[in-house]
Every structure is written in structure tokens, then in C-alpha cells.
Amino acid sequence: MSAAVDVSPGTGPGAAARGRPALLASLAPVAGIVVVLLLAAVVSPGFYSGANLELVLYQAGFIGVMAIGQTFVLLTGGIDLSMGAVLAVTAVIVAQYTAGADGPLPGAVALAAGAGLLIGAVNAALVVVRRVPPFVATFAVFVLVQGAITAYTKGAPSGNVPAALGDLGAGRLLGAPLPVWIFAGLLALGAVALARTTWGRRLYVAGSNRRAGELAGVRGGWVIAGAYVIAALLAVLAGLINAGYVGQVDAQLASSLNLDPIAAAVIGGVALVGGRGHLGQTLTGVIFLSLVLVWMIQLGAGIGGQLAVEGTAILAAALLQRGRSGAGKGGR
């Protein structure tokens, strides 16, 4: 079990030996947040208005819920590109099943959870049983689900979302948007699960060296499968949050890959190669990304500008991670 701790940067004894590049990589997202906050203060003083900060918190909650699931998957050495499809399925099921009425909402939520469970299980089966590379498997599932949605809705997903769901996306608790509290609660649960449970430790082993883990008796397949299923269920929750936030089925959002959760985890420092990272890093990435996204809107950068900045941040994070891996290898 100690092997599982060793492969987690910042938490294991190996972290200290990685030297300056590792420290740089760990501090870079925090430094990024500070830089964005300072630049926003200078360039866009209105950035610190209450409504704007609320927007940042909502974004953090919405992206964060999915980023937790994506972090679990990334720790196994995988990636889940089907989350956008799960968001879409959730919105379509809620709108079509309830037709805007509150009464059928529990049934719709159960149906959406069932659909998420199924999609997560298909991802898991493809990756674990059929050994399909996660990128290919989850992208194929994304396309497949999009096709099914297009066929079912005749390409026009629409409908009203029950008012009862409004609070989940647009409600407030202690002055902050409810989604950010949901994210905080799930983050705490996830952090405990990763650090204190057998499942969490096995997740690191499965991601760092699945073969060695299996030789040591760790059944990595079930652990990996669990990560994909949890990711899908968290995407269902995010779908409900978004449907509640906007009060409509958003056909544009439903047809996008939605790479924000991956971006947040990677920017925070979770390794794309698996076995390294923790939810504290995901939190940092989520905060950074939410700040940048809202700031870009304030600057009038448009979606192209937002994607460009997001891409640059991911690239910088990947380069820093590469530097850290190189330093780690050299130090051994």
C-alpha cells in the first residue's frame, strides 16, 4: 500500500526529492490565480463586484463537480470524454420526462442517474474488459450518445426544466451559489476517499502501474471501472445543476465535448499519465479556470479567446508536469 502513497505528488515522500521543478509545478496554478486576480484588479475593477464573484463561484461549482469525477479517471491513467454527452442526456431526460412539471422530477432524476450509470458502465467495460484506449472508448461513447440524442429528439433537444430544479442551479446558501457548496461537499468526500480508503489507494496503484498492482493482488479493473461510473454519475449531477441554472435545455452546450473538467484537473497538476495528483490540485485548477473564464467574458474576449487562454494554461501545465517528470527521473 505504501506504493500508492509514493506515486501521489505532494502527499508522498517522493515529493521532496523532486526538487525545484516539482515545486514550480505545484506552485504554478496558485501563482496563476494570484496573477489573474491582480491583473483583473488592474484591468477590470468591476471584476470584484458581488454578482461577478457569484458567477465565479457558480462556474467553480459546475465545473468542479465534473472535475472531481475526471480526476478519479485521470488518476487511473484514463480520460473521460463522454461527460458532455452525459450532461446532454440528463437535460434531455429531465425536459422530456417532466415537460416542465415538478411532479415527475424524482422519476426523471432516477432515469437520468440510470442513463449515467449505463454510460459509465459502458466506458468501464470498453476500457477494462476490451482494453480499448480510454480516449477512443469514451470519445466513441460520446459520439454514440450524441447520435442517440439526435435520433430521439430529431436533432432538436428542447423543453422546460421543472421549477423545482431551479434551486439546485440558481439557489443560494449562506450567500453563495448552491453548486459551489455541493462541489465543496463532494470535494471533501472525494479527498477522504482517495487518502483514507482502500479504494483510493488502489486507484493510485491502478494508475501508476496496473500490472504490478495486479501481481500484488490489487484488482485494478474494478477500481478503474468504479472511477468511470462515478465520473458519469457526477456528470449527471452537473447536468441537473446546469439545467436548474439556465431553466432550459441548452442544445449548444449539450452538443459540446465540454473539456473544462479535464482542463481544470490538468491545470491544477493532476497527471495525464495517471497515478499522480490529488483533489487539492483539482480545486486549484477549478478556481483558476473559473476566474479566467469569467474574466475573459468581462474582457469581451469571446469563446475563441477563452479557449485560447484555456489551451495555453493546459499547455503550460503539461510542460511543467513534463519538467517535473524529468526531474523525478533524473533524481532517482
Residues forming the site for another protein (CB under 8 A): 46, 49-52, 54-55, 59, 150, 154-156, 158-160, 170, 242, 245-253, 255, 294, 297-298, 300, 302-304
Neighbours of 140 (CB within 10 A): 16
What's the start-to-end Cα distance of the chain, in Å?
Answer: 20
Closest CA to 87 of 69, 106, 100: 69
In the bound complex, what is the minimum distance in angstroms from residue 121's beta carbon to another protein?
28
Q: Which one-letter DSSP state was computed for residue 160?
A: B
The rounded distance, in Å, linking the Cα atoms of 58 and 241 is: 10
Nearer to another protein (CB atom), residue 159 or residue 285: 159
The rounded distance, in Å, linking the Cα atoms of 289 and 59 is: 9
The rounded distance, in Å, linking the Cα atoms of 73 and 68 is: 9
In the bound complex, what is the minimum distance in angstroms from residue 109's beta carbon to another protein?
20
In the bound complex, what is the minimum distance in angstroms from residue 140's beta carbon to another protein?
17
Neighbours of 281 (CB within 10 A): 25
Question: What is the sign of the dihedral through the CA atoms of 281, 287, 290 and 296?
Answer: negative
In the bound complex, what is the minimum distance in angstroms from residue 295's beta carbon to another protein?
10
- CA–CA distances in Å: residue 77 to residues 73, 157, 207, 227: 7, 34, 5, 11
Nearer to another protein (CB atom), residue 113 or residue 297: 297
In the bound complex, what is the minimum distance in angstroms from residue 156's beta carbon to another protein?
4
For residue 199, give the amino acid letter: W
Q: Are 112 and 89 in contact (CB under 8 A)?
A: yes
- What is the pairing mode between strands 172-173 and 176-177? antiparallel
Phi and psi, residue 102, nearest 5°: -75, -35
Nearer to another protein (CB atom), residue 11 or residue 52: 52
Q: Are 100 and 247 in contact (CB under 8 A)?
A: no
Nearer to another protein (CB atom), residue 11 or residue 160: 160
In the bound complex, what is the minimum distance in angstroms from residue 280's beta carbon to another protein?
26
The rounded distance, in Å, linking the Cα atoms of 68 and 283 is: 9
